[in-house]
Structure 1
């Protein structure tokens, strides 16, 4: 009875439901702000310090441009190999975790593996591989490869689960084998999405690789941290500007390519 009366109340007063949602959002965000213990008075007096720090970043020191380009090339190489390694390892995990392909026990194990990888920050992975292989790009590449699995496996899984089941059933009725069902039913539907996700991950990994440099895992992040630690802020600015240009170019290129893949 209470459910029916509530339904009638919402139909009679349609503004009640949005008001309740707004009230819940206000309460949740208010709770979050209290938990952060934000000192608004301190924020008001902190702007001069922010302006002072930003002013030290300019003008960029273009004398280190050649160093920035070399470090950036290493970062792109790390991202390329890390994304490729992660994509290859992600595919069987995605198949094992898809609810329309794998048994329940295998789905549970594969999803547990995905969650375990995603729960480890990229910097921790960087530290692990720096301890294993030493400072430099190999450690960053391996860290990116493992880091990529946590995300691409989930993206691939969602693409596989979104496959139109009617097309698969039609192939099975025609007597197609499992391999033929995968080749002619699943792959054509998953491939454009999978390639789009992989391109997005490659673009993301370039930024992630710059963060891994903080723990000595090579790339432009290593140079960036070295300059900041040495208070050479204008040189650090050159590194950030070069990274910005390359990320923007790759983002534009990958966006166009993803658009073409989506229209396939």
Structure 2
């Protein structure tokens, strides 16, 4: 028994050492592929500090425009997240291994992966071409973009439910609807709402990026100011966005904690 324990201890540390060497090799390979030139970074530092100095002080004359565009961004995120959440729910059910047959899981997971592989900028360009410049294009882009992530989050929540509660309902002769109502929904709802709140936060940031392609929101004004070298006005936009994102992050974190405690 002592020999076995000694052998196992030795093998355990050899295994960990091999894993560590593998991790170091992978990171070394990735760093080599990046071809980082530290000398170039050092020489470019004056240009970086010069750019940052042009951002200050913020131009508060456009604060009213920033607030209007920020409200539009929140509206885009709210509707985009809601559309994505509604469409994600059936996809998550079809992709959950404890609810759907194998062939349906494969199709639903393929759809999720396909949506996640398309960058939000590309979706923004697609809907700008379909509906024109403005918030409607950004809202639709956020809705489709949300499906790829909330679908996966909801799937994980469904797959993490206690199977014993489902089995007990099945044994008692409950219908599929009753199983979903009394066995699945109470366990999934707190997690699902928490994931949805997180996605709402994220979409506010994503909506600002979509402004690059003219899909409305605060990002549209931000990009225009940067292109016009009006850096102090761009700083005002970024500061307003920072304040609101911080407030929403704080509120949603408290809501998620409350939901998790349910």
TM norm structure 1? 0.95
Q: Offset of 1:9 from its aligned partner?
A: 5.0
Choose which of 195, 198, 214 in structure 2 pairs with 1:197.
195
Q: Distance in 1 between matches of 2:172 and 2:133?
A: 56
1:10 and 1:16 in contact (8 A); partners too? no
Post-superposition shift, 1:8? 6.5
Aligned equivalent of 1:135: 133
| Residues 139-173 of structure 1: CA deviation (Å, up to 9, x unaligned) | 00000000000000000011111111101111111
Which segment drifts farther, 28-37 or 220-229?
Answer: 28-37
Residue range with higher mean Cα deviation, 149-158 or 26-35: 26-35
Are 2:130 and 1:103 equivalent residues in the alignment? no
Aligned residue in 2 for 1:4: none
Q: CA deviation at 1:188?
A: 0.2
Aligned residues between the structures: 260
Give the 4+ runs in structure 1 shifted more than 2 A.
7-10, 12-22
- 1:240 counterpart residue number: 238
Q: Specify the SS of the correspondent of 1:120.
A: coil
Give me the CA root mean square deviation: 1.6
Partner-residue secondary structure (3-state), 2:98:
coil
- List gaps (5 residues or longer) in structure 1: 1-6
Deviations 1:112-156 (A, max 9, x none): 000000000000000000000000000000000000000000000
Summarize the alignment of residues 146-165 of structure 1 with structure 2, pairs less than 5 Å apart: 146-165=144-163
TM-score (normalizing by structure 2): 0.96
User: What is the CA–CA distance in structure 2 between the aligned matches of 1:10 and 1:227, rounded to whole Å?
Assistant: 64
What's the secondary structure of 1:209's corresponding residue? helix
Structure 2, unaligned runs of 5 or more: none
Tell me, yes or no, if the aligned pair for 1:168 and 1:185 is still in contact at 8 Å: yes
How big is the shift at 1:13?
A: 6.2
